[in-house]
Amino acid sequence: MVDKISKDIKENVEKFKNTFKDADDLVYRNIKIGKKNKKEAYLIFIDGMVDKSVISDYAIEVLFDEMEIDESNLDSYKTSLSEKISEESIAVHDVKEEDSYDKLVDMILVGETVLLIDGSDKALILSTRGWPTRGVQEPQTETVVRGPRDGFVETLRFNTALLRRHIRDPKLKIKTLQVGRRSKTDVAVVYIEDIANDKIVEEVINRINKIDIDYLPGSSALEALIEDSYLSLFPQLENTERPDSAAASLLEGRVVIIVDNTPFVLMVPATIGTLFQSTEDYYSRWPIGTLVRFVRILSAILTAVSPALYIAFTAYHPGLIPTAFTLYLAASRVNVPFPAVIEAFLMEITIEILRESGTRIAGPIGTTIGIVGGIIIGQAAVEAGIVSPLKIIITAITTISFFAIPSYEWASSLRIIRFAFMFLAAVLGLYGLMLGIAILIVHLAKLESFTVPFSAPYSGLGLKEGDLKDTLVKAPIQKLKRRPQFTFPKDKTRMK
Amino acid sequence: MKKLLVLLLISSLMLTSGCWDSREIEQRLFVTAIAVDINEEVQEGNVNRLIVTYKYPNINTIGKNSDGGHINFTLSVPASGISQASTAFMGEAPFPFYFKHLKVIIFSKELLEHEELVRHILDELNRSPQINKRARIAVTEGKARDVLKVTAGQEYRTEGGIYQVLRSNKFTNRFTVKSLTDLITDFDVAGVTIVPRISIVSGKFVVSGGCILKNYKFLAWVDQNHNRAINIMNGIIGLENIDTIYNGTLLSYAVTRGYSRKKVTFDDGITVRFDIKLQGYLQGYNISQKNQVYDEKTLEDIENNIEEELEKKILETRKFLDEIGAPLFGVGEHMSKFHPKVWKQVKDNWQEMMPEVKFQLNIDVNIRRTGLTK
Amino acid sequence: MKKNETISNLQIRNLLITTVIGVGILALPNQMVTILDNDGWIPIILGGLLVIPFAVMLDRVYKLYPDKNIYQIGREVYGKLIFNIFMIIILMYFVIQDAYVARIFAEVVKAYLLETTPTEIIIITILLVSAYLARCEIQVLGRVATLVYIILITLVGFLVLISLPDADPTNMLPVFNADFKKLPSAITGALFSYAGYEVVFIAYSSSDDKNNILKYIIRGLLVVIGIYLIVFVITLSLFGIDQIKRELWPTIAIANEVDLPGYFLENLEGIVLALWVVVVYSTLGPLLFAASRIFLNIFTTKSHDFIVLLLIPIIYVISILPVNVVEVYEKLGKVLNYFIAVSIIGIPAILFIGALVKKRRSKA
């Protein structure tokens, strides 16, 4: 049984006051409408969540000007009191009628204002949402040299607007869901109807609907709740703060998930190919884009494998590297008291500690300080003879390569893998490292992102259709006539 | 819970059994050169018939923190084989030896007179997965270990000066570079091979000329000129100087490039036609008013002169090789590939037939440049 | 069928290539040259071509009974009992082949990478990691195969590049000079190197385009022949015929031979071996997968990942039976050859004939 409000306003107000006991930011504004018959009315809203000028100017002031509220006139019009008022006497841009008590409570909590009228069994919901919010700024984690500088904000409705600015297509669908028993966070699932594959959209909506949790902190929590394999080291969704990235992924046939209260939106499905793409590629010329993509792949390999290779070659197989290099390596390690394995682990752990302490300091500056500090400490360590200089260089290469990878989550997974590889190399040398790589390959092949294989396009899906043109290299835009295949888009052509 | 157990099991397996092959890189001794001599003082029944010497770099002298000591160390010990020596050294050397960076192997002439020792050593070198097959071979008249000792003090690069010299024939034609695999292949294919000769001259080492080995035994020494001729006939043409007398004065010609090909015909016995084409520049003549070489006729003349000189030298070498019975011009190999049926018939008698083979030398020398002056 | 329950034909082709190319490639030049001197390339080509008719036969069997997988067809044609016997033979074949490959792999790793590590540890580790792959579904195997295919091609390309400066093509001569009476034994030797292609037939029923599978299988076989030929040519050009006859694993020795001082390239066998570990891994995984699948179908168990774990100890024990490398090639190799003859040739032929006969009979 839906709990309805009664016609008696005093009863209604009491009910609200009871529900919101000890919530002192609720405002109960008592007004009398009508110059002649003076109907009693209440406006209920939460101070701080509403745009107060809308209430004062477009609700209260207009209602005060109302000439008369006379129920006797109503029958001839066959309208209800609330309807008449909403249609003729309120200047707020969006007004809805509602009789369910729970719904009214929800609406107050979202920042709307409830207008109770004595004698009416329906209340009016005035759209008055407004709260302190950040203006549109350039996202700090994804900057480009040449390109737009807007970024998503924390308000869902503004974010959807930013998306619509890029895609003015009526086929752009925005489906809103709510997640979280207590947080009731709005989650919007955005897709382009005649491009995105129905099954993927369905899968996304189903998974979100299945969530039963009391508070949704942000998009990373949502990511963990709906991804295929939350235990895996690798992210299976992409995220971005940039509307242009999100819009581009929509046009690839992907689904964008916007979560209220966070500027990071999710893009689904994600694959290894997409994780190496960055917005910068699309705003520079294509040869640079291609070169940069190769550099990224190289960096990913370096950051995962360099320390392990160092261990393998110094401790196990000095015969596998050229002689001059071997002798140099031996010479540089002559007075170092630690075995190569310990040296490697020490340096890596030191860098991790430095990185972590760097994040306590504000922004990217902190991280830079951390890394530079690391290198200085490393230098001191070399002077003191504790670590070999080559190891410092390797650590530096490893760390810097880490930052060349566009997706932070992906890079972080590689960090962990780096330690696993180091351990394997310490036990079984190069063979151990290759075993680790074999396991990694299988894991990547097994991983799926919303029914799309994660290792596409390198593992088969999309190879024939030319998906590599936008993942491994960056082909000029004239060559990218077809959409990438991995999302199974319905409309395959982009350009003629 | 099950996953935890499995993880524990696997990690304990790895940690308790230990890392068998791991050895810190500075705790290995990288042998860069080996010398093999005969052990004269050996008694009957003792298998240690060799004296093996290892040379390895002193890593303290590499790089920035060099302590300026000896760049290389050498260690000698009686042993029965090359790798066996490393066990003998266990009492002296601080770390185990590592052979993957071996660059040079020097044999003494004395050693090469004992065929089965040579065969034993070569088999050991071939079979071992640890010895670098690209090591260069050289032979010395005296004791091989003396060569290593001499060079130990004077080298400026850790890989060794000998290796740098023996590395490739690109810059010189006075000896024939031979790596271990080349040596073994040569013995398989033709039974004869030529190896650089290294000697000690007033405290320094010199590589010049070569040593001919036949059927795993020492055959003869050759000097630089013969070696050069052999190289040219086999198609190894490095930077080279050819000196002739032209018009009564010395003329130097420098070879930069060239090729040499063989063609075998069978009309009347076996005839081998050698096409040798050399390109180079005029290096030195005689500075005077009337000796200008800047016209075509003079150059052609000079070219012919050089060609004759070369032909003379080559035929001299051929006579020498025929006398000692060392077919080193690669004719047999050529025939085994291009005329297999004929080769099958002659190969057992090849040594006797070699002198009967007619040579047709077709040498073409080109002076491409005359330098900056006329 | 949902899109990600199928395996694409391209992936099937890659699966074939990466499964077949495992340890055979190492010794192939040596084995061929020992029998036929410089003409060793002939049995390589002929051996590969010989496999094609059997692949065609199996394809026809599938076409005769569309939408049935191989077990159903087999049971229909020959009855449960006889077909189960066939399947047990094939199961043993896969198990022994897996053990053989694992053992040779361990020997190579011991020779070049880890001299004192016990062989058992190397075998156990590679088997466990292969188990991880074998427990997955066929789609994952297809994807892994495509990824490893890239590595394989890189490896072959790398070998070609580094051997070019030192290669002497005249070492290929003389041609057509060998004793051709020995050709049949050479072909049977080469045939072994193509073993493993049968794995694709287990993937048959999951393909997304059944009509064109044969085309891809043949393309895959041609690629394998091509790769073997390239390796043969390089090793022969680099080493010459006599050294190859001595060298146990010429393919790896190529990397050993390279010495380009100007380019700072020495001792490259490390790279070759590292990449090759992954290639062998991509052979062991699918073999184990196939074995467990067959087991599943004979004894109708629920899922094959449990069976994989069951098979590993058996494979391990077989792989450590031979005492040294010689015994591996001689004894285990001989046993394997019999099984190959049965599995590559015998059973496809029998199935095909049986299926044809049955269809004819049912039409009549």
Interface check A202 vs C, CB under 8 A: no
Question: Are B65 and A334 in contact (CB < 8 Å)?
Answer: yes
Same-domain status, A316 and A424: yes
Would you say A401 and A307 are in contact if contact means Cβ atoms under 8 Å apart?
no
Would you say B195 and B139 are in contact if contact means Cβ atoms under 8 Å apart?
yes
What is this model's ipTM? 0.87
Maximal C-alpha separation, chain A: 105
Residue B3 Cα, gap to closest chain A Cα (Å): 13
According to DSSP, residue A182 is labeled T
Q: Which residue has the tokens 């998906």?
A: A467
Indicate the residue type of A7. Answer: K
Alpha-carbon distance of A475 to A469, in angstroms, equals 5
Alpha-carbon distance of B348 to C212, in angstroms, equals 57
Sequence-separated contacts (24+) of B302-306 with Cβ below 8 Å:
B302/B246, B302/B251, B302/B253, B302/B367, B303/B365, B303/B366, B303/B367, B305/B244, B305/B246, B305/B251, B306/B242, B306/B244, B306/B251, B306/B253, B306/B365
Interface check A437 vs C, CB under 8 A: yes
Q: Is C67 left (phi over 0), alpha (psi -120 to 50) or beta?
A: left
In a domain, A89, yes or no: yes
Q: What residue in C sits closest to B188 (Cα-Cα)?
A: C242
Other CB atoms closer than 10 Å to residue C180's CB: what's the count? 12
Report pLDDT digits (tens) over B36-50.
Answer: 888 877 777 777 778
In a domain, A150, yes or no: no
Lowest mean pLDDT among A8-12, A243-247, A455-459, C75-79: C75-79
Would you say A281 and A169 are in contact if contact means Cβ atoms under 8 Å apart?
no
Other CB atoms closer than 10 Å to residue B343's CB: what's the count? 20
Q: Is B270 left (phi over 0), alpha (psi -120 to 50) or beta?
A: beta
Same-domain status, A256 and A301: no
In a domain, A216, yes or no: yes
Helices vs strands, H then E, count in chain A: 18, 12
Would you say B51 and B38 are in contact if contact means Cβ atoms under 8 Å apart?
yes
Indicate the residue type of A404. Answer: A
In a domain, A38, yes or no: yes
Mean pLDDT value of segment A3-12? 79
Neighbours of chain B (3+ CB pairs under 8 A): A, C
Mean pLDDT value of segment B15-19? 58
Domain count, chain A: 3
Residue B263 Cα, gap to closest chain A Cα (Å): 40
Report pLDDT digits (tens) over A158-210.
Answer: 899 988 988 898 888 999 988 888 888 889 999 988 888 888 888 889 998 88
Would you say B106 and B139 are in contact if contact means Cβ atoms under 8 Å apart?
yes
According to DSSP, residue A57 is labeled I
Would you say C163 and C238 are in contact if contact means Cβ atoms under 8 Å apart?
yes
Q: Which token pair is A247? A: 């819009």
Interface check B100 vs A, CB under 8 A: yes
Same-domain status, A102 and A219: no
**Does residue A431 surpass a pLDDT of 80?**
yes
Report pLDDT digits (tens) over A280-296.
Answer: 788 888 888 888 888 88
| Model-wide pTM > 0.90 | no
Interface check C111 vs A, CB under 8 A: no
Indicate the residue type of B219. Answer: L
Per-residue model confidence (pLDDT) at position A334: 77
Q: Which token pair is C164? A: 């070019």
In a domain, A465, yes or no: no
Would you say C351 and C77 are in contact if contact means Cβ atoms under 8 Å apart?
yes
Instruction: Identify which of B134, B168, B340 has the shortest CB distance to residue C174.
Output: B340
**C-alpha A383: how far from its chain's center?**
44
- Give the domain ranges of chain C: 3-363
Question: Are B168 and C261 in contact (CB < 8 Å)?
Answer: yes
Same-domain status, A56 and A82: yes
Q: Which token pair is C346? A: 């015998």
Instruction: Identify which of C118, C174, C243 has the shortest CB distance to residue B184.
Output: C243
CA-closest candidate to residue C125, choices A424, B350, B251, A58: A424
Other CB atoms closer than 10 Å to residue C227's CB: what's the count? 18
Q: C30-68: buried (b, 16+ CB within 10 Å) or exposed (e) per residue?
A: bbbbbbbbbbbbbbbbbbbebbbebbebbbebbeebeee
Question: Are C177 and B341 in contact (CB < 8 Å)?
Answer: yes
Q: Which token pair is A154? A: 């924390």
Per-residue model confidence (pLDDT) at position C1: 34
Alpha-carbon distance of C195 to C193, in angstroms, equals 6
Q: Which of A220, A244, A270 is at the close of a domain?
A: A270
CB-count exposure of residue C359 (10 Å: 0-12, 13-18, 19+): middle
Per-residue model confidence (pLDDT) at position B157: 59
DSSP for A244-294, please give it: HHHHHHHHTT-EEEEETT-S-EEEES--HHHHT--HHHHHS-HHHHHHHHH
Q: What percent of chain B has pLDDT over 90?
A: 0
Question: Are C243 and B185 in contact (CB < 8 Å)?
Answer: yes
Domains and CATH numbers, chain B: 25-222 (no CATH), 230-369 (3.30.300.210)
Instruction: Identify which of C170, C173, C257 has the shortest CB distance to residue B181.
Output: C257
Better-scored residue on pLDDT, B304 or A34: B304
* Per-residue pLDDT band at B9 (split at 50, 70, 90): low
CA-closest candidate to residue A252, choices A411, A403, A456: A456
Q: What residue in C sits closest to B20 (Cα-Cα)?
A: C117
Alpha-carbon distance of C192 to C166, in angstroms, equals 30
Q: Which CATH superfamily is domain C3-363 in?
A: Amino acid/polyamine transporter I (1.20.1740.10)
CB-count exposure of residue B120 (10 Å: 0-12, 13-18, 19+): middle
Same-domain status, A41 and A120: yes
User: What distances in angstroms separate CA B48 from CA A73, A358, B41, B44, B140, one per listed residue?
Assistant: 128, 65, 10, 10, 21
Better-scored residue on pLDDT, B75 or B20: B75
Would you say C229 and C22 are in contact if contact means Cβ atoms under 8 Å apart?
no
Same-domain status, A404 and A331: yes
Would you say B312 and B228 are in contact if contact means Cβ atoms under 8 Å apart?
no
CA-closest candidate to residue B30, choices B98, B132, B129, B116: B98
Same-domain status, A440 and A292: yes
Q: Which token pair is C93? A: 């074949």
Report pLDDT digits (tens) over A254-264.
Answer: 899 999 888 89
Cβ-Cβ contacts under 8 Å, B30 against chain A: 318, 323, 326-327, 330
**C-alpha A156: how far from its chain's center?**
12
Cβ-Cβ contacts under 8 Å, B131 against chain C: none
**3-state DSSP helix/strand/coil percent for chain A, to nearest 5?**
50, 15, 35
Would you say A265 and A240 are in contact if contact means Cβ atoms under 8 Å apart?
yes
Alpha-carbon distance of B91 to A269, in angstroms, equals 65
User: What distances in angstroms separate CA A131 from CA A46, A112, A135, A179, one per listed residue?
Assistant: 10, 11, 12, 21
Indicate the residue type of B230. Answer: I
For chain C, residues with pLDDT lower than 70 are 1-5, 67-68, 177-178, 259-267, 363-364
Same-domain status, A228 and A297: no
In a domain, A440, yes or no: yes
Mean pLDDT value of segment B221-244? 81
Alpha-carbon distance of C235 to C224, in angstroms, equals 17
Question: Are B59 and A327 in contact (CB < 8 Å)?
Answer: yes
Alpha-carbon distance of B227 to B233, in angstroms, equals 10
Would you say B211 and B195 are in contact if contact means Cβ atoms under 8 Å apart?
yes
Same-domain status, A441 and A295: yes
Per-residue model confidence (pLDDT) at position C2: 43
Lowest mean pLDDT among B127-131, B284-288, B358-362: B284-288
**Does residue A214 surpass a pLDDT of 80?**
yes
Question: Are C174 and B338 in contact (CB < 8 Å)?
Answer: yes
Q: Is the peptide bond before B196 cis (omega within 30 degrees of 0)?
A: no
Better-scored residue on pLDDT, A305 or A145: A305
Mean pLDDT value of segment A408-415? 83
CA-closest candidate to residue A30, choices A19, A45, A15: A45
Alpha-carbon distance of A440 to A191, in angstroms, equals 32
In a domain, A484, yes or no: no
* Residue pairs between chains B and C whose CB atoms are closer than 8 Å: 53
User: What distances in angstroms separate CA C264 from CA A322, B104, B238, C258, one per listed residue?
Assistant: 7, 18, 21, 11
Alpha-carbon distance of A300 to A414, in angstroms, equals 7
* Structural domain of A396: 285-453
In a domain, A468, yes or no: no
